[in-house]
C-alpha cells in the first residue's frame, strides 16, 4: 500500500516552460488536493477535486490547471512557469473531507 505518491520529487524549470506534476493514490479516496508550501506561509490550497472528472479552485489557483481523469490520479499543470511558482508542492487525498493523507512533496525551482 503506497498511499499517496508524487512524481517527480525535484524539478528545475526555466521561466516560461511548462510541466505537469502527477499525484497518485491507491486508497480509493474520492477527494484529492494540491497545496503549495512556502516559508512562513504554511500550506495554501491551489485546486481540489471531489471526485473523478471534477475540479475546483482553491485559495491560490492562478497560473495552475488540474485534471482528474481517473479517480486515483490528480495532475497539476503549469503552462508557463514563473519564479513566483518556486515552491514545494504537496498532493493529498481523503476519504472524508477532513482527514487528509499527504504525499512526500515535489520541490520545484523556476529560474
Partner 1 sequence: GNSVTQMEGPVTLSEEAFLTINCTYTATGYPSLFWYVQYPGEGLQLLLKATKADDKGSNKGFEATYRKETTSFHLEKGSVQVSDSAVYFCALSEGGSNYKLTFGKGTLLTVNP
Exposure letters 74-111 (e unless 16+ CB within 10 A, then b)? bbbebeebeeebbbebbbbbbeeeeebebbebbebebe
41 binds partner 1 (CB under 8 A): yes
Q: Using CB under 8 A, count the residues that bind partner 1.
A: 24
**Other CB atoms within 10 A of residue 32 CB:** 29
Q: Minimum distance between the CB of residue 98 and partner 1, rounded to whole angstroms? A: 4
One symbol per residue from 60 to 89: x for binding partner 1 (CB under 8 A), - otherwise; what is it? ------------------------------
Question: Quick one: which of 31, 34, 64, 74 contacts partner 1 (CB under 8 A)?
Answer: 31
In terms of DSSP H, where are the helices of the chain?
Answer: none
| Residue (58 or 63) nearer to partner 1, CB | 58
Positive or negative, the CA dihedral 61, 8, 92, 40 is negative
| Residue (44 or 71) nearer to partner 1, CB | 44
The whole-angstrom separation of Cα 97 and Cα 71 is 15
98 binds partner 1 (CB under 8 A): yes
Judged by the rule CB under 8 A, the positions of this chain that interact with partner 1 are 4, 31, 33, 40-45, 48, 50, 58-59, 90, 92, 97-105
Amino acid at each position: 500500500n503506497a498511499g499517496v505518491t508524487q512524481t517527480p520529487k525535484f524539478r528545475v524549470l526555466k521561466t516560461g516552460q511548462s510541466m505537469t506534476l502527477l499525484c497518485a493514490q491507491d486508497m480509493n479516496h474520492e477527494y484529492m488536493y494540491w497545496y503549495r508550501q512556502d516559508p512562513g506561509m504554511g500550506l495554501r490550497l491551489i485546486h481540489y477535486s471531489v471526485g473523478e472528472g471534477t475540479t475546483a479552485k482553491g485559495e491560490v489557483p492562478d497560473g495552475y490547471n488540474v485534471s482528474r481523469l481517473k479517480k486515483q490520479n490528480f495532475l497539476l499543470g503549469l503552462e508557463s512557469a514563473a519564479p513566483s511558482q518556486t515552491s514545494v508542492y504537496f498532493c493529498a487525498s481523503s476519504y472524508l473531507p477532513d482527514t487528509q493523507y499527504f504525499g512526500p512533496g515535489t520541490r520545484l525551482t523556476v529560474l
